Amino acid sequence: MSKIIFASNRLPVTVQKNTNEGFTYQKSIGGLATGLKSYHEQSNGLWVGWPGIADEKMNREEKKAVQKELLENHQCLPVFLTEEEVDLYYNIFCNRTIWPLFHYFTSKTTYEAESWEAYKLVNLKFFQTIESVIEEDDVIWIHDFHLMLLPQMIKEKYPAAQIGFFLHIPFPSFEIFRLLIWREEILLGLLGADLIGFHTYEYARHFLSSIRRLLDLETNFNRVSYEDRYVQVDAFPMGIDYEFFAREHETPASQEETREIIEKTKGIKMILSIDRLDYTKGIPERIKGFSRFLAQNPEYRGKVRLNLIVAPSRIDVDSYDRLRKEIKELVSDINGKYGTFTWMPIWFFFRTFTQESLITLYRHSDVLLVTPLRDGMNLVAKEYIASRTDYEGMVVISETAGAASELSEAVIVNANDYNAIARGLKKALAMPREEKIARNKMMSRRIQRYHVGFWASEFLNTLNRFSLESAEIIYQ
Ligand code: G6P
């Protein structure tokens, strides 16, 4: 029987070594891992990826034990990376070259030849791991910017394999993408796939434009003709596990963790903000927007609170640590300026919460403020709407989040414009109940229909259909 092989840099479980003995296996954070996890669990798929722990931290026996646990209990096959590989490939090439460039942060982008070599090597390591399990008729679904050379590596050796690639971050406009030194190699690497998917039509359009202008290849609508075959390019907006977020979660643990926040916020309007620590998320701009809101609307002082949740992420990259300090300072400035003995405008949490606790928080928050400067999709916005089964609450989202194109009934703002954030907040807080319900019903139905299972099936069915079609065209 054929199987699906999922490949992504990070596995849905992250392995950590305990201080005394043994290892812990924790859920990974980020849109890709949380979004795809439920689909992977239901499929007979194998997920190939990095377990988040450096090779040197384990001896041979421990590595075997970790591998066994991942395979038997999590349907995962680890690709072990050395500390040097993690540094050059992950910290530098992925997180200081591709990530900032694809999110339009050109001044944060660095170009280091050594890290490019490591990127090629690690993609090869993934290829070799996949080779150890690949069988005829398997479908290989590769995810995200860490593995953009992998499709071509597989296609060269296994031309009949069905290969899909999905990018979870934006694909930038040609004027930005052309700045990358290794731009042609990256495009050719991606063209090894039979189907390339993006969250929005804009990203697909940008990709096709780069293909035409940099590789001089012909494109016909969404189809690229490359060598003796075709590559299909399309938009597949990722969804969430709707039923999970809409369900009741009455577990005592989730109540315990969030009860304090909710208890102490009774009678106060709650604004919620949740992100991974990342400069693309626009967290300082959001805090300044909230401060502008307090300055312009004194009647709300003492009556609203911003619960700012930031999950630690990529702490070995300097700019992330600087950002953490900047956020801390901004929070204390605003609390110092507006706080009273009985009220603090911002509560800042630098840690992760369980999904059940987040659902409880979603249900008790009047507004979700999600204003990334640039974001491939942003699933938090969809999770919030799905959790609000009473259809109350309102999302304020920036137009530069991929999710905004599907959430047109939310309050949409420009993340750089503090006045717009302040106006958006006021509009969401003051919106009549009936209007909120009407808007949320429309968004909620859409999110329910285009859930993550729908997204994955749509992608895999298109891949299957297209691979069969192109085989016929080629062999005619
Ligand atoms: C984004 C990326 C994912 C990544 C996640 C967390 O959502 O698209 O590929 O896994 O961030 O980042 P990390 O570097 O911790 O894997």
Which residue has the CA at smallest separation from atom 4 of ligand 1? 30
Q: What is the pLDDT of residue 127?
A: 98
Q: How many CB atoms lie within 10 A of CB 399?
A: 12
- 277-331 pLDDT, tens per residue? 999 999 999 999 999 999 999 999 999 999 999 999 998 888 999 999 999 999 9
Distance (angstroms) between ligand 1 centre and the Cα of 30 equals 5
C-alpha span between 468 and 162 (Å, rounded): 9
Contacts of 14 (CB under 8 A, 6+ apart): 25, 26, 27, 28, 51, 52, 53
| Statement: residue 258 has pLDDT above 80 | no
User: Given pLDDT bands bounded at 50, 70 and 90, which one contains residue 473?
Assistant: low
In the predicted model, what is the mean pLDDT of residues 179-200? 98
10-14, 140-144, 274-278, 465-469: least confident range: 465-469
- H or E element in which residue 154 lies: helix 150-157
Contact 447, 409 (CB under 8 A): no
| Statement: residue 198 has pLDDT above 90 | yes
Q: What are phi and psi of 195, to 5 degrees?
A: -135, 130
Nearest atom of ligand 1 to the alpha carbon of 144: 9
436 lines ligand 1 (CB under 6 A): no
Q: What is the pLDDT of residue 254?
A: 58
33-42, 403-412, 454-463: least confident range: 33-42
Q: What is the pLDDT of residue 250?
A: 67
Q: What is the pLDDT of residue 160?
A: 92
Query: Which of 207, 161, 205 is closest to 187 using CA atoms?
Result: 207
Which residue has the CA at smallest separation from atom 8 of ligand 1? 168
Q: Which whole-number Å values give the CA distances from 229 to 148, 159, 223, in the listed order? A: 19, 10, 10
Interface predicted TM-score (ipTM): 0.98
Tell me what the pLDDT averaged over the chain comes to: 95
Percent of the chain with pLDDT over 70: 97
Contacts of 51 (CB under 8 A, 6+ apart): 11, 13, 14, 15, 66, 70, 76, 78, 80
Contact 371, 421 (CB under 8 A): yes
Q: What is the pLDDT of residue 44?
A: 81
313 lines ligand 1 (CB under 6 A): yes
Q: In this structure, what is the dihedral angle of CA atoms 19, 23, 24, 29, given to the nearest 10 degrees? A: 100
Give the burial string for 90-114 (b: 16+ CB within 10 Å, else e): bbbbbbbbbbbbbbbbeebbeeeee
Residue whose token pair is 């930031």: 310
- 244-257 pLDDT, tens per residue? 999 987 666 656 77
In the predicted model, what is the mean pLDDT of residues 8-19? 95
- H or E element in which residue 309 lies: strand 304-311
Which residue has the CA at smallest separation from atom 12 of ligand 1? 30
In the predicted model, what is the mean pLDDT of residues 127-147? 96
Report strand pairing: 223-226 vs 219-220.
Answer: antiparallel
| Statement: residue 259 has pLDDT above 80 | no
Which residue has the CA at smallest separation from atom 11 of ligand 1? 30
| Statement: residue 148 has pLDDT above 80 | yes
Which residue has the CA at smallest separation from atom 5 of ligand 1? 30
Contacts of 381 (CB under 8 A, 6+ apart): 368, 370, 395, 397, 401, 403, 407, 410
320 lines ligand 1 (CB under 6 A): no
168 lines ligand 1 (CB under 6 A): yes
C-alpha span between 400 and 282 (Å, rounded): 11
Contact 129, 199 (CB under 8 A): no
Q: What is the pLDDT of residue 307?
A: 97
10 lines ligand 1 (CB under 6 A): yes
Q: What is the pLDDT of residue 362?
A: 96
Distance (angstroms) between ligand 1 centre and the Cα of 31 equals 7
31 lines ligand 1 (CB under 6 A): yes
